[in-house]
Structure 1
């Protein structure tokens, strides 16, 4: 049996002949040493267990924080999406379509045209194609039209914006508008009966000859003729219907106003008034 120096010192110090059982004393010393070591081991184990529990709790807290942060982001994005004003889009396919805007403005879209605006501001619109506007007057809120190339500002008036070509045109049937290039700060003023065209690459629109009121008949449903040759009358009817018409006598001329809601009725009135026959080619 091996003993270390500490054990030997203990025995020598307390040895009394006939009274001390050296082997028993050594066993007690060893037992005390073991008890000390065991206690320290248990303390270390307990400390490690506490550290492990603390780390687990910290991990769980971090996970919950990450989940809460993700939920907060989702809620923020969702709230923004719900609160953000929607864009309203009005379209026409193969036929003329009319709409009333929330402010009382009436718009008529020619075939394959579109108009859009934010649901919280219908006085600021964007368009494509050809649109006829009958704008509700509001001095506090100008009506703003932005096309692919042109830009028009008005307070309350009636006009047509035609952007079906690379040279957009504006025609005014009532009131006054400002017509400019899309990104320009200034343009030209147009009043009733006036028309202007923005040529491709031009800085400012140029005035044209006064327009014919029948150019907007597709939207207003009104035709106006003053001593017009019959061929001109039939040409206007062809524009509206897409059909070709021929007459028995082209020497006639016509004066009058017609509502185009029923073209067959218009043709019948013209035939009776001029004493001719008209049929579809």
Structure 2
């Protein structure tokens, strides 16, 4: 969405001429900011115009949600700055129409970026690197449905009257209120859904058929092979490592080499090429920080599998010693 378009949208919001879908877009954009926004819009000075405009936006959102004291002055400055400064880049886009014919909100992250998104019903979504989340304009009014490409961790507010649906490729997850992680990158052969708490119902729509569904209980993972169209469930003692990336950790727990390649590509934009075929069967265990230098991670991984590496730009070549 271009900055000028968004400025016009905010103007309609303040003039009370915005449609219900447009009001929702402003609400979800405003709610998505964390409490600490220092540095999001650098170089913007306080002004009475910013303060007045911010107060008007805040007043309308508080009135519609009956939730006072939620936003900080930093958040007001962000809202006003985007309204007044035409050079600010927005972190979400508008898609002309969703499946219901209404405007949808789309959040995107780049490699190495994560984003915390607060939905209208107080559910929280952590969007991992190089991922896209599409939220229907009718979210929470008629249904609670989102569409994911990439990886996200969900903390869903319980509402037995409105189940929460996540569509990710051929997988659709239905929940009432729970915490779970979905990994479904388009370039990956495998899609995974891991349940941490509660219970979810997963259906798979394979070419020419649709499964009856699988119920997952805590610490279970459903893995779907997009090539063979085969789904299987796995049990673990704990699935807490599945949400480690939301706290800045990178954990490999008996992880296949193919998945290690995918994670390094999504997190750092690196293309890892394993030259020695026998290394492709190795599995990796280890813990890092997402802000660790990529070469440090590569060097450590090579020590674990007794390999050596060379770097050419964004491509890492791994081979046996």
Task: Judging by fraction of residues, say which structure has more helix.
Answer: 1
Q: Comparing both chains, which one has the higher relative contact order based on Cα–Cα distances under 8 Å and sequence gaps of 6 or more?
A: 2
